[in-house]
Structure 1
Amino acid sequence: MRELKILAVVVVLTLVTYWGVEPFAHSQMHPHVEPANYNFAEADKETTKEAVTVAKEALEEAQKENNEKDIHLAQVEYDNAVAFEKTMTDFWTANEEVTSLTGNAENGAVLVQSNCTACHSIEKQGFPQLMDNASAAAAYGVVPPDLSTAGKIYTKDYLVAFIKDPALASKVSHKFVDGKIHPMPGYGWMQPQEIADMVAYLQSISPKEMTNKEVFTDACQRCHGIKYGDMQGGTMAAKTPNENIKAYMGKLPPDLSQYIRSRGESYLHTFVNDPQKHLEGTAMPRVGLTNDAEVQVVKYMQEVGDSKKEQREALGPKFLIYLVIFAIFAWLWKASKWRDVH
């Protein structure tokens, strides 16, 4: 009976830790954020509205304290939040006209090749990179992506938005103020049908299938490297040299070899989908990946940083069964040895 009481105490303390302490600690270290949202217009509407609410509450708090300087600063923040909410609403509303159109891929080929190939390569269509990575990074701050797979890995809405205004689409407009401009010019001056045609062309040339590594390479490797290699042992250096990407981003982007372990799947999905949810003001852009492409990116990071996950998870139930059997035999052995004593 004494042993059962001890067991009960251990079980209760374990459950309290598992269901109480651990979730609380996790909530403090990793505050809750909304799930990944691939409807970027809807996502931006929610985040800008929330920003206005927060700024309004800060203004009201400053007014209660009646500090003139704080009131002025809070008023500026509130006005900026309201103005940015309108900017984003107007931006996505205007994009709806483009996304509703049926694009002409043949006409889009002419437009893309005449407007984009001066900076971007399209290797699979015979348009090679005009400069090496180091030269391109020196010219633009970051190596421009090859567009061969853009129609596959990015959502249609995002492609439309990015063509029109890269800074707003990728949520890094806060970086490009006081005369600073995004390295890619916006093409918002184009007719809606022309942008729809360009997107149709990018989708028409994109591959039907891509490996996890190929998606990661096209989505992430311009800035991030894989230092410790994948299951085949190969390492992947970032395409943009360290000195250029550090100057462009403000700091050196992290190596992603072990991020699946240090951050976890849920964090990575929400971070790739919208980095601002976790790090407000970060220089990392919203990547604009489709749900499927994002899953492939995270899966590749798992292949690199946690290749034994499936074996480890398969071993778990077997080990628990072993412990139960061992506990039964231990109890029977104890009972047989102490029966006479009790």
Structure 2
Amino acid sequence: MRELKILVVVLFFTAVVYWGVEPFAHSQMHPHVAPADFAFKDLGTNDKKGNASKGAETFLSAGCTGCHGVASQGMPSPMDDAAASASFGVVPPDLSNAGAIYDKHFLSALIKDPTKALKVEHKFNETRPHPMIAFYGLGGDLDQEVADIVAYLQSIAPIAPLSDKQVFQDACGRCHDMKYDKAMSHSDKAALTAYMGTLPPDLSIMIRAKSDEYLSTFINNPQKQLAGTSMPRVGLTEKAQNQVISYMEKVGDRKKAEREDLGYKLIGYMVLFTLLAFAWKVKIWREVH
């Protein structure tokens, strides 16, 4: 009976720590933030229905190919990586897959006002403009022209699903290394450091350092988790963002499934061992008494 009372006391204080102290400590170390917003409500919406054919013409007339390549359409990047890094601080993305991995509302907002869409207003302003020039239109309806460009990007997006690694490379690979998978960023490190204020971290074990919940919010809106960071909002669709996190998990936490499976076996072993130990204790003390 005495042992049972001790067990109850231990369980009570364990429960107090687990359900009382630990959640409070976690809330102080990791304040709650709103979940990822894949509708990008803060950017508004463009209700215009885009025309892909007109969008192709507008895309070329607006001079987008002066910075961006569209390899799938036979339009290579106008600069090599070194020249692009020196000019912009980071290599501009190839837009072949943009219509597949980025949200259309984000793309619309990005074309019209890159600084706002990327949530880097604290870093870029009139005296230090963002490397991507805002599109002010070609003289017609601005929202319609933007909708047409987005429709064009969606029309050239690949029909076949992209691999997790490909989505990561398109969305993150221009700034971040993934050394565990021997994937290095295309941008010059010195130029990138000057542009960002610090060298973006290697993401090989970021999934271990941060939870997938943290990464989901951070990628969708870095300012929620790290106010003042130079990292821009990426603007991925929910599916694409999940692919990025999945790739990071495959590279940085390859043993997760094995570890979780072993955890259940260990718990089972401990339960069985406890029962056997208790039965042995009862037997020994029965003989003593």
**Residues 259 and 305, structure 1, Cα contact 8 Å, conserved in 2:** yes
What is the distance in 1 between the residues matched to 2:58 and 2:115?
Answer: 21
Residue matched to 1:336: 283
Alignment of 1:74-85 (within 5 A): none
The residue number in structure 2 matching 1:258 is 205
> Identity of paired residues, percent?
55
RMSD of aligned alpha carbons = 1.5
Task: Letter of the 1:118 partner, please give it.
Answer: G
> Which residue pairs with 1:163 in the alignment?
111
Distance 2:134 2:164 in 1: 30
- Aligned twin of 1:30: 30
What one-letter code is carried by the residue in structure 2 that aligns with 1:18? Y
1:118 is matched with which residue? Answer: 66
Deviations 1:204-245 (A, max 9, x none): 11123111111110000111111222xxxxx11122121111
TM-score normalized by the length of structure 2 = 0.94
**How many residue pairs end up in the alignment?**
284
Structure ranking higher in helix proportion: 1
| Residue 215 (structure 1) aligns with | 167
The residue aligned with 2:263 is 316
**1:178 Cα offset (Å):** 5.3
What does the per-residue CA deviation read over 1:95-122, in whole Å, with 9 as the maximum and x for residues that have no partner? x4xx212211112112223421111011
In the alignment, which residue of structure 1 is the partner of 2:242? Answer: 295
Aligned residue for 2:272, secondary structure, equals helix
Contact 1:165 1:188 in 2 (8 A): no
| Structure 1 unaligned residues grouped into runs of 5+ | 45-91, 230-234
Structure 1 match to 2:102: 154
2:103, 2:237 within 8 Å by CA — same for their partners in 1?
yes
Query: Per-residue deviation at 1:297?
Result: 0.7
Amino acid at match of 2:253: D
Distance, in Å, in 1 between the alignment partners of 2:236 and 2:152 is 18
Match of 2:179, SS state, is coil
- Paired with 2:14 and 2:179, the residues of 1 have a C-alpha distance of 38
In 1, distance between residues paired with 2:51 and 2:126?
A: 38
- Aligned-residue offset at 1:135: 1.2
Aligned to 2:272: 325
Verify: 1:12 aligned to 2:17, yes or no: no
The letter for the 2-side match of 1:341 is V
Query: Which of 182, 199, 211 is the aligned partner of 2:130?
Result: 182
Q: Taking CA–CA contacts closer than 8 Å with sequence separation of 6 or more, which of the two structures ends up with the larger relative contact order?
A: 2
Please report the TM-score for the alignment, with normalisation by the length of structure 1.
0.80
Q: Return 5+ residue gaps in structure 2 as ranges.
A: none
Match of 1:146, SS?
A: coil
Structure 2 contact 137–145 (Cα < 8 Å) conserved: no
User: How far, CA to CA, are the matches of 2:175 and 2:92 in structure 1?
Assistant: 11
